Amino acid sequence: MHEPEKVRTDTLDDYLAALSRSTIEPGLNWDVVEAKWPGIVEAFHGFNVLDVAAFTPNDIDDLMADHRVIRNRKKLEAVVYNAGEMLNIAPDADGFRAYLRSHGSFEATVADLRRRFKFMGEMGAYHFLFVVGEKVPAHEDWLKSHPESGARH
């Protein structure tokens, strides 16, 4: 098991990239996602949140034909939806960071992430919060209290 690499979150685009990875990876071979990640980033315009939020159903159709991405329509649609939801929450990284820290507890933050964002499960929320540098419980302790999440890292 290896610890995921933390990412810089200087822009809302950085948050969208981390959130998207946490929504795309579950249920898939992580080596496949890692190999395709550069193409996914390119296909989603570097995760420019304004561009991605403006994707249309025709853009999703184009992505479904793009060999560079994981061609799961629901996950692709989730990335677009989640970009729009991020913009609904905050126009910039500072505002989104403040949103993440506004819930009072890790569990409350996870619950709100799962409510607001598509394809965001318990493990995905934990992964997202960890990689963007938010406070999370120790992985082993968290797994003990969430055995249904499994330990596939």
Q: Residue 140 pLDDT > 60, yes or no?
A: yes
As given in the structure block, the two tokens for residue 58 are 């025709």
Scanning the chain, the segments in alpha helix (DSSP H) are 12-24, 30-43, 49-53, 57-64, 73-89, 93-100, 106-116, 122-131, 139-145
Q: Where residue 1 falls among pLDDT bands split at 50, 70, 90?
A: very low
For each of the domains in the chain, give its residue range(s) and CATH number, in order of start: 12-149 (1.10.340.30)
Q: What is the rounded average pLDDT of the residues 99-115?
A: 96
Q: What is the per-residue pLDDT for 100? A: 98
> pTM of the prediction?
0.91
Q: What is the per-residue pLDDT for 126? A: 93
